[in-house]
Amino acid sequence: MRPRRKSTKSRVVAPPVTVTIDSIGARGDGVAQGPSGPLFIPGTAPGDTVVAAPGEKRGDGWAAKMLDLITPGPDRVDPVCQHAATCGGCSLQHLDLSAIARIKRGHLVEALSRRGISEDLVAQTREVPPGTRRRLRLTIVRPGGRAMIGFNVRGTSRLIDIQECPVARPEIVALLPALRDLATSMNSLGKGGDIQVTLSDTGFDLMFIPARPSDPDLAERQRLVSFAEKHDIARIAWESDGFAEPVAARRPARLIIAGVPVDLPIGAFLQPSREGEAILVDLVRAGLPPDAKIIADLYAGCGSLSLPLAVGGANVFAAEGESAPVDALRRAAAGLRVQAECRDLAKHPLTEQELARYDAVIFDPPRAGAAAQAERLAWSTVKTIVAVSCNPATLARDLGVLMDGGYEVQQVTPVDQFTWSSHLEAVAVLTR
């Protein structure tokens, strides 16, 4: 039998067009009006006049490729990284940082306006500088056994073997050549996988995640231990089939949060930079009334918000859906007024009766937002809510639910701690 031919996406063959970029879309692409609808053109800036080739259908418009830059817009700058033109890690490195802050605030304003929240309530963007990111998840491929480490080319599965990364802490960049040599020697990685690199306050915390489940053999385990000794690594772990095992644990991978040492679980979530975390803590504190003494911190993680509040004298209930961060927070908070509970807030949100005892509630959910918990909060008697979010769309949805329940938005502050990417954090304060 003749093999069935694989289906392919229909591709529009259209002649190049000359257009002027009007704005930056939510994915970081320049948006221009083409003959048949919007064109989404990576690597372009507002005010650029470019020659672009329309391609595949994308949403209500067309993906396109810039063929030539005729006239640069006022916000265009030269990228600082040699990989900027192709690397999928950054999409906005060709824009001035002040323009990025303005554009991201505009995206937040647009999302909130759909819920009737006025632009007057949105503060100016708080920015985190480049070179501060303490956590990266990098891809490893091993063509012919020689490892490459980096990020995918934008929109493809091809890898860029990065030689620099101005987003990351310099210590992480300096370790890349040694990690590349180590990955080359690790046959248990097969064709590749990922490596999560975290720079804790006590040193590097590394976790290898092979693309296919596998375990390092004895010689490879010894190699990992030797690598940890040579490069003064705090911990190296290996995750296979969902189970993470410490292979070399020379000392705890530890963060100091508000003066409190917290031993990080393997693979634990933390804010991408110390600087960004400090901004979030300041905004949360500023949003709480001075007399708020009993506070719920929902989606608490390892306590990046709970611990500063507890050190400041508050009585904090911290809820988190994973047990390892809860255990870490309990150990760290010994002697402080912190009660930590492992609880899936999507399935079992705090009820109105449980919420009644709190002077204020903070929630900092993943990108999917806090829909179920927002519904219960909307019916609660809590006086002040501070919402932290990394997704303007789900933040707007959750704030809309709270507003329908009688809360008023006092202020929303965008926080750009994802330098040169299209992502944005925000902190919203609501009262009733």
Residues carrying an active site annotation: 390
Q: Which of 90, 92, 117 is nearest to 103 (CA)?
A: 92
Query: 409 Cβ partners below 8 Å, 6+ apart?
Result: 117, 121, 399, 403, 428, 429, 430
**Strand bridging mode 235-240 / 49-58:** unpaired
Q: Which of 425, 389, 421 is nearest to 26 (CA)?
A: 421
Residue 235 burial (10 A CB sphere; 0-12, 13-18, 19+): buried
Query: What is the DSSP secondary structure assignment for residue 133, as one 8-state letter?
Result: B
Residue 58 burial (10 A CB sphere; 0-12, 13-18, 19+): middle
Stretch (H or E) spanning 404? helix 392-404
Give dist(CA 116, CA 229) in Å, integer.
Answer: 56
Phi first, then psi, for residue 185 (nearest 5°) are -85, -5
Buried b (16+ CB within 10 A) or exposed e, 206-230: bbbbbeeebebeeebbebbbebbee
Residue 247 burial (10 A CB sphere; 0-12, 13-18, 19+): buried
**Contact (Cβ atoms closer than 8 angstroms) between residue 257 and residue 317:** no
